[in-house]
Amino acid sequence: MALTPLNSDVVVIGAGTSGLSAAKSLKDIGYSVIVIEAANHIGGRCVTDNSVFDIPFDIGGSWLHSAVTNPLAEIAVQNNFKLHKKNWSHTWVHSNGANLSSKQTKEYSQYIEDMWQNINKAGKNKKDQSIEKSLPEAKWRDIARNQIAPMMGADPDVCSAHDVFHFTNTEGDWLVENGLGAFIKYLYKDIKVITNCAAKKIDYSSNGVKVETPDGVISATYAVLTVSTGVLSQNKIKFFPKLPPRKKDAINNLPNGLLNKIGFEFNIKWREAHQGQSADYLVGENDFCSIDFGFYDSNIAVGFVAGRFAEQLEMDGPGAATSFCSEALKSIFGNDITKFINKTTETAWKSNINSYGSYSYALPGGFGAREILAETLDDRLFFAGEATMSNSQATVHGAYLSGIEVAAKILAVDNSN
């Protein structure tokens, strides 16, 4: 479908949380805004799938992290979305053929707390080193280090400790009943989005910007680009003039990591695990999954694989990650558990051509790249999205806040002209 000639004050590229948040803030100020989205739906990396299970399944973001200070938690309550506040704790740990005793599991959990404290301490050092270098030497190190990839989307040897230290981590990881993706969709139900419309080229060479799409060109005074660093690093969007080397370096220093989810729906007769309980499973050094049970107090469990191992499973093909998590379930609960599994599903975020991964991490030495990624080019081309945030990166609330911040930046530029 050809677009009729389109003009607006601002064109927002991408209708994930950051793009939708930017569009809403800009409209509230009084700007005319056009939002274009490459996919056939909004939400980006925060989407709820209602088609697989009886219960909504968030294929991307699901927890409101740092919940007590997370602005989205209050907004969810104001909009009558119920929050599930129960914390998850390590209940079962199975490593290379052996189940840890409950005493050992407690020691392991304690090690994980100490490990994050050490990583944060290392983040204060002058030298920006990898997380791997700051793991305390102790009995549980080799299993517990596998906890890092699901948090960071990448293995500890490639993640910057400075980047972790600067994340504002406050109490609480809460779930939104009906799905975080469903909540984001509801929140922005009044924002008009042109879907199936990918930006191919952004011309910011003279006054205003021109965004080329297969359906036509959109002209605007300002553009807000919200695509992931995975998309940016694929060079599928051309820029005129080319992005400056400083911006390209920032993109290279902030790869889009990988977390994949494996959903299990159990027969309600299976009652061995409940909300708040989780199982960790390790084979060899790095083949690891973590499974959280009882999402929304239901019979849904979610397995997580991350980093290089998740990439390998995704390359192995559909079903590989599900098989690995099924082995974990059998090792911990016995072979009969498979009789109680009704349905499964799994994500493949690395192959998703609109994100190429799950969320950004900074390479060791790459601290500072987020601020550079957020810099505006020629007072016309603005950047938003989770990767541009230095204190709330890799999250849905970070994306939300980046949308608000970019709208304020546009207003400031406009006022100074």
Binding of residue 370 to ligand FAD (CB under 6 A): no
Instruction: Round to whole Å and give the CA distance between 84 and 56.
Output: 14
Q: Whose Cβ is closer to ligand FAD: residue 44's or residue 123's?
A: 44
Strand order in the sheet with 89-95: 98-99, 89-95, 277-283, 287-292, 300-306, 259-266, 341-346
Q: Whose Cβ is closer to ligand FAD: residue 38's or residue 289's?
A: 38
User: Three-class SS of residue 221?
Assistant: strand
Binding of residue 358 to ligand FAD (CB under 6 A): yes
- For ligand FAD, the binding residue among 27, 65, 90, 409 (CB under 6 A) is 65
Binding of residue 355 to ligand FAD (CB under 6 A): yes
Report the nearest approach of ligand FAD to the CB of residue 188 (Å). 11
DSSP characters for 337-384?
GGGGEEEEEE--GGG-TTTSSS-B-PPTT-TTHHHHHHPPBTTTEEE-
Q: Whose Cβ is closer to ligand FAD: residue 18's or residue 277's?
A: 18
291 closest CA partner among 346, 329, 240? 329
Binding of residue 250 to ligand FAD (CB under 6 A): no
User: Three-class SS of residue 298?
Assistant: coil
Burial 87-108 (b: 16+ CB within 10 A, else e): eeebbbbbbeeeebeeeebeeb
**Other Cβ atoms within 10 Å of 237 Cβ, number:** 19
Binding of residue 147 to ligand FAD (CB under 6 A): no
Binding mask 177-216 for ligand FAD (x = CB under 6 A): ---------------------xx-----------------
Binding of residue 259 to ligand FAD (CB under 6 A): yes
Report the nearest approach of ligand FAD to the CB of residue 66 (Å). 9
Q: Whose Cβ is closer to ligand FAD: residue 270's or residue 292's?
A: 292
DSSP characters for 93-140?
EEETTEEPPHHHHHHHHHHHHHHHHHHHHHHTSSS--BGGGG---STT
- For ligand FAD, the binding residue among 95, 147, 160, 395 (CB under 6 A) is 395
Report the nearest approach of ligand FAD to the CB of residue 329 (Å). 20
Q: Whose Cβ is closer to ligand FAD: residue 178's or residue 395's?
A: 395
Residues 4-63 that bind ligand FAD (CB under 6 A): 13-19, 36-39, 44-46, 60-63
Report the nearest approach of ligand FAD to the CB of residue 158 (Å). 18
Binding of residue 303 to ligand FAD (CB under 6 A): no
Can you say whether residue 297 is alpha, beta or left, with left for phi > 0 and alpha for psi between -120 and 50 degrees?
A: left
Q: By the 8 A CB rule, do 42 and 20 touch?
A: yes
Binding stretches for ligand FAD (CB under 6 A):
13-19, 36-39, 44-46, 60-63, 65, 198-199, 226-228, 231, 237, 259, 261, 347, 349, 354-355, 358-359, 385-386, 394-397, 399
